[in-house]
Chains A and B, each alone.
Chain A
Amino acid sequence: MSTRRRDFLRSSLSAATLVSIGGPTIPGFLARSARAASAEGTGDEGRILVVLQLLGGNDGLNTVVPHALDGYSRNRKRIRLASGQLHRIDDQVGLHPRMGKLAELLERDRLAIVQGVGYPNPDRSHFRSMEIWETARTDSGPEAIETGWIGRVLDAHPPKPGQDPPALHIGAGRSPLATKAKRVEVPSLERVDQFRLQLAGAAPEQRSARTAMSDVARVDRGDDPLLGFLRRSTLSAYESSRRLEEVAGTDGDSSYPNYGLAQRLKQVARLIKAGFGTRIYYTRQDGYDTHANQFDTHAALLNELADSLAAFHDDLAGAGLNDRVAVLVFSEFGRRLAENASGGTDHGAAAPVFVVGPVRHAGLIGEHPSLEPDDLDDGDPRFHTDFRRVYAAMLDHWLGLPSAPIVGEGFEPLPLLPPARG
Chain B
Amino acid sequence: MEAGASLDRGIPMQSSPLLNDPDRAWCRFEPSGEEPWDLPRVAHLHRRAGFSASWDALQRDLGDGPEASIDRILDGEPSALDGSPAAEFDRLMDALARGPGAAGGAAGLQASWLYRMIHTPHPLRERMTLFWHDHFATSIEKVGDPDLMRRQVDLLRRCSLGSFAELLRTIARDPAMLIWLDATESKRQHPNENYAREVMELFTLGRGQYTERDIQEAARAFTGTVVVRGRYRHDPRQFDDGEKTVLGRTGRFDGDAIADILLDQPSCARFLCRKLFSWFVSEVDEPSDALIEPLALAYRDSDYDTRVPVAMILRSRLFFDPAIRRRRVKSPVEFAVGTIRALEILAPTVSTQELAEACTRMGQALYAPPSVAGWDGGPAWINTATILARSNAALALLDDRRRFDPEALASRHGRSDDPAGFFVDLLVQDAFGPDVLDRIRGSAREAAALVLTSPEYQLS
Contact = CB atoms under 8 A, between A and B. Distances in A.
A370 interface: no
A250 interface: no
A226 interface: yes
B7 A292 contact: no
Interface stretch (A62-70, A191-199, A383-391, A405-413): A191-199
A178 B241 CA distance: 44
B5 interface: yes
B4 interface: yes
A189 interface: yes
Contacts of A341: 185, 187, 189-190
Contact of A159 (B2, B7, B8): B2
Given A226-B326, A344-B182, A216 B459 contact: no
B388 A185 contact: no
B123 to A, nearest CB: 24
Contacts of A292: 182, 184-185
B54 interface: no
Nearest to A127: B373
Q: How would you classify the secondary structure of chain A's contact residues: helix, strand, loop or mixed?
A: loop
Contacts of B382: 229-230, 233
Given A175-B383, A189-B385, A212-B439, A229 B7 contact: yes
B2 A236 contact: no
A340 interface: yes
B347 interface: no
B361 A194 contact: yes
Nearest to B447: A212
Give the interface centre of A126, A185, A197, A221 by most chain B CB atoms within 10 Å: A185
A173 B370 contact: yes
A169 B12 CA distance: 28
Interface in B325-375: 326-327, 329, 360-361, 363, 370-373, 375
Interface string A184-213: 111111100011111110000000010011
Nearest to A195: B388
Interface string A321-362: 000000000000000000011101010000000000000000
Contacts of A4: 2, 5
Given A7-B2, A8-B4, A291-B194, A226 B459 contact: yes
B379 interface: yes
Given A194-B388, A217-B455, A291-B194, A229 B6 contact: yes
A88 interface: no
Given A225-B12, A230-B382, A291-B194, A200 B458 contact: no
Contacts of B379: 226, 229
B436 A216 contact: yes
Interface stretch (B82-90, B107-115, B392-400, B410-418): B392-400
B435 interface: yes
Interface in B424-460: 433, 435-436, 439-440, 442, 446, 449-450, 453-456, 458-459
A52 interface: no
B384 A187 contact: yes
A251 interface: no
Given A216-B439, A341-B187, A161 B326 contact: no
A230 B458 contact: yes
Nearest to A181: B6
A228 B385 contact: no
B64 interface: no
A188 B361 CA distance: 11
Contacts of A161: 1, 3
Contacts of B396: 198
Contacts of B363: 172-174
A234 B387 contact: yes
B450 A189 contact: no
A209 B370 contact: no
B69 interface: no
Given A195-B388, A198-B395, A226 B182 contact: no
Interface residues of B, number: 69
B83 to A, nearest CB: 32
A209 B458 CA distance: 19
Given A233-B387, A240-B384, A200 B2 contact: no
Given A173-B363, A216-B439, A341-B189, A185 B6 contact: yes
B383 A188 contact: yes
A101 interface: no
B384 A195 contact: yes
A233 B182 contact: no
A216 B431 CA distance: 13
A335 to B, nearest CB: 13
Nearest to A186: B383
A196 to B, nearest CB: 7
A194 B385 contact: yes
Nearest to B452: A213
Nearest to A180: B6
Contacts of A158: 1-3
Interface string A110-132: 00000000000000011110000
Contacts of B433: 219, 221-222
B9 interface: yes
B389 interface: yes
A263 B399 CA distance: 31
A232 B5 contact: yes
A342 B383 contact: no
Contacts of B192: 291, 342
Contact of A8 (B2, B13, B184, B449): B2
B201 A125 contact: yes
B284 interface: yes
Contacts of B370: 173-174
Nearest to B445: A200
B242 interface: no
Interface string B228-255: 0000000000000000000000000000
A183 interface: yes
A8 B5 contact: yes
29 contacts: A5-B5, A7-B2, A8-B2, A125-B207, A158-B2, A160-B3, A174-B375, A181-B6, A182-B5, A182-B9, A183-B4, A188-B384, A188-B386, A195-B384, A195-B388, A197-B388, A199-B395, A200-B395, A209-B446, A213-B391, A222-B433, A225-B7, A225-B12, A229-B6, A230-B459, A233-B382, A341-B185, A341-B187, A341-B190
Nearest 4 CB-CB pairings of A with B: A187-B384, A230-B455, A291-B182, A225-B10
Interface of B: 1-14, 182, 184-185, 187, 189-190, 192-194, 197, 201, 207, 284, 326-327, 329, 360-361, 363, 370-373, 375-376, 379-380, 382-389, 391-392, 395-396, 399, 433, 435-436, 439-440, 442, 446, 449-450, 453-456, 458-459
Interface of A: 4-5, 7-8, 10-11, 125-128, 146, 158-163, 165, 169, 172-175, 181-190, 194-200, 209, 212-213, 215-217, 219-234, 236-238, 240-241, 291-292, 340-342, 344, 346
Given A183-B6, A237-B391, 14 more contacts: A125-B207, A126-B372, A172-B363, A184-B4, A185-B4, A187-B383, A189-B384, A194-B385, A198-B396, A220-B435, A225-B11, A226-B459, A241-B384, A342-B182
